[in-house]
A = this chain, B = another copy of it.
């Protein structure tokens, strides 16, 4: 599992759209609160690898590209442990 504390620092930029509490700012974005860590990592990787397109991929691909594998696991841990 990732380090949620380290993830919190990395997740500041995510909060702008996904909410500091993991509840998305607009209904077109997904809530991340309580989402499965492993799924979040696979989604971030699919954006980073440009496998995920459509929807808000144009925004998410560059965001994911800035994250290392460790960052991804930590950010995913941070949102998944939110209750």
* Contact-residue bracket for chain A: 20 to 34
* A63 interface residue (CB < 8 Å to B): no
Specify which chain B residues have a CB less than 8 angstroms from the CB of A30 in the assembled complex: 35-36, 39, 43
- Taking a contact as CB atoms under 8 Å apart, the answer to whether B39 and A24 are in contact is yes
Given A42-B55, A54-B52, A55-B42: A34 touches B31 (CB 8 Å cut-off): yes
Specify which chain B residues have a CB less than 8 angstroms from the CB of A54 in the assembled complex: 42, 45-46, 49, 51-52
- Taking a contact as CB atoms under 8 Å apart, the answer to whether A27 and B52 are in contact is no
Specify which chain B residues have a CB less than 8 angstroms from the CB of A68 in the assembled complex: none
* A37 interface residue (CB < 8 Å to B): yes
- Which 10 A-B pairs rank lowest in CB-CB distance, beginning with the nearest? A51-B54, A46-B54, A27-B38, A51-B53, A42-B55, A27-B36, A30-B39, A28-B38, A46-B55, A52-B52
